[in-house]
Amino acid sequence: MSNTPLPRIRRTFAAGAITTLVVTLAAACGGNDDPTKSAEQESLEEGESLTITTFGEFGYDALIEEWNAANPEIQVEQTKVSLWDDWKNELNTKLQAGSGLPDIVAVEGDFMPALVAAPDRWVDLSQDEVEGRWLDFKEAAATTEDGALLGYATDAGPEAICYRADLFEEAGLPSDREEVAALMTTWEDYFALGEEFVKNSDAYWYDASGSVAQAMLNQVEYPFEEADNTVNLDNEGLANVYETVSRYSESLSPQVPQWSDDWTANFNDGKVATVPCPGWMRSNIRDNTGDPAPKGVVWDIADVFPGGGGNWGGSYLTIPKTSPHQTEALEFITWITAPEQQAKIFQLTGNFPSQVDALADPTVTGATDEYFNDAPAGEIFSNRAEAITVQPYHGPLYSDILGKFQDAINRVDQGTDPQKSWDTFTQEVAALQ
């Protein structure tokens, strides 16, 4: 065979195949369109869907079904990623590649400053219809200097304290939600009560050091960055959070990273007494503890948050300019972030609305939570929203620094000397700049 040439047809075919292969590969490798320019708009074909990626639990399943039934020409398909950190990496990779993003991208509130600082890749969503829809601070966090609105807020995270009434009772503490609320109006009281609690109980006072740290951090006005976006870790608020949490790591914390398997298991094992509790945290508590609750387990919500109010989390829906269906996407997110829809989600998952009208909606204000001992959740979280006085400033690096800060606290939990762990933290943050 070695010296026998191929018949011409086959030869031509082979050459053609190679050329095709090379051209295809070359095309696949390079030549992205500019992601800061809007993609060419196309109408949705038959069988084609609008895509949305969310993380955690947005409570959209039933609502999307409702929308799809009512809008046969705009079908929506949701992809759920379980953790924000995982979705953040994927999102970064896709932004980097300039392609592969869904039509609608859900973004954690902490990441919004990074978008606002580099707005070119995102569609300006401002329109008359949504003016004044959200709480001022939610809207401000998604608005650029030029007044472009880059995200529609979904929920807000006013924090209360969720606690195990049965464990409180066993440890000889009052378990009634009003009495509990009166016992933890400041962080000093909260930690003191914890030290009393652990003397008479096998459980840990809180779910994770990182969780309490983040809750406290949400009351610091400039946690990591100054108003001009320069990083400043040498501030009293941050030092206080770090020192306090380190001090109580041994006595009050289970010393497991928040969101880890051991963290999840502690709920089911009845090892967690209190949790800093934004509205959305309730579905995590419910899922981790088990629904219906194991025998004797009574979760409740106290209408209080140590040190005043605080907001933890709350997400946004955004549309990247790479989406070829921006009109349809805008239509959909305008609908799904409307107060009526968000009120339904509150009942379903506990994600507290960030829309002004939804806060006055009787289905929200009158809502009770059966799993949490029929606590008047609507009333409690509305009160908690009103108690928020400080809106911490989040610069473009906030989300990244927060990740490193959580690592620093996890190191202390694992037995590293707090000062040494802090040094590593400042080093790692320096490496981010």
Q: Which residues bind another protein (CB under 8 A)?
A: 3-8, 14-15, 18, 21-22, 25-26, 29, 83, 85, 89, 92-93, 95-96, 98, 114, 117-118, 120, 256-262, 265, 396, 400, 403-404, 406-408, 410-411, 413-416, 421, 424, 427-428, 431-432
Please say which residue, 133 or 411, places its beta carbon nearer to another protein: 411
Please say which residue, 175 or 283, places its beta carbon nearer to another protein: 283
Q: Could you tell me the smallest distance in angstroms from the CB atom of residue 245 to another protein?
A: 14
Q: Could you tell me the smallest distance in angstroms from the CB atom of residue 233 to another protein?
A: 17
Please say which residue, 77 or 90, places its beta carbon nearer to another protein: 90
Q: Could you tell me the smallest distance in angstroms from the CB atom of residue 248 to another protein?
A: 18
Among 39, 68, 52, smallest CA distance to 106 is for 52
Query: What's the CA gap between 260 and 253, in Å, rounded?
Result: 14
Q: Could you tell me the smallest distance in angstroms from the CB atom of residue 260 to another protein?
A: 4
Please say which residue, 15 or 192, places its beta carbon nearer to another protein: 15
Query: What's the CA gap between 345 and 351, in Å, rounded?
Result: 6
Q: Could you tell me the smallest distance in angstroms from the CB atom of residue 209 to another protein?
A: 11
Please say which residue, 20 or 41, places its beta carbon nearer to another protein: 20
Q: Could you tell me the smallest distance in angstroms from the CB atom of residue 249 to another protein?
A: 13
Q: Could you tell me the smallest distance in angstroms from the CB atom of residue 5 to another protein?
A: 5
Among 282, 283, 188, 287, smallest CA distance to 240 is for 188
Please say which residue, 379 or 407, places its beta carbon nearer to another protein: 407
Q: Could you tell me the smallest distance in angstroms from the CB atom of residue 410 to another protein?
A: 4
Q: Could you tell me the smallest distance in angstroms from the CB atom of residue 155 to another protein?
A: 20
Q: Are 81 and 53 in contact (CB under 8 A)?
A: yes
Please say which residue, 308 or 396, places its beta carbon nearer to another protein: 396
Please say which residue, 2 or 45, places its beta carbon nearer to another protein: 2
Please say which residue, 112 or 180, places its beta carbon nearer to another protein: 112
Q: Could you tell me the smallest distance in angstroms from the CB atom of residue 118 to another protein?
A: 4
- Residue 132 φ/ψ region, left for φ over 0, alpha for ψ in the -120 to 50 degree band, beta for the rest: left
Q: Could you tell me the smallest distance in angstroms from the CB atom of residue 426 to another protein?
A: 12
What is the 3 state secondary structure string of the chain? Answer: CCCCCCCHHHHHHHHHHHHHHHHHHHHHHCCCCCCCCCCCCCCCCCCCCEEEEEECCCCCHHHHHHHHHHCCCCCEEEEEECCHHHHHHHHHHHHHHCCCCCCEEEEEHHHHHHHHHCHHHECCCCCHHHCCCECHHHHHCCECCCCCECCEECEECEEEEEEEHHHHHHCCCCCCHHHHHHHCCCHHHHHHHHHHHHHCCCCEEECCHHHHHHHHHCCCCCCCECCCCCECCCCHHHHHHHHHHHHHHHHHCCCCCCCCHHHHHHHHCCCEEEEEEECCHHHHHHHHHCCCCCCCCCEEEECCCCCCCCECCCEEEECECCCCCHHHHHHHHHHHCCHHHHHHHHHHHCCEECEHHHHHCHHHHCCCECCCCCECHHHHHHHHHHCCCCCCCCCCCHHHHHHHHHHHHHHHHCCCCHHHHHHHHHHHHHCCC
Please say which residue, 322 or 354, places its beta carbon nearer to another protein: 322
Determine the Cα angle at 314 with ends 357 and 65, to 5°. Answer: 70
Q: What are phi and psi of 273, to 5 degrees?
A: -95, -45
Please say which residue, 97 or 182, places its beta carbon nearer to another protein: 97
Dig out the tokens for 282 from the structure.
């309730």
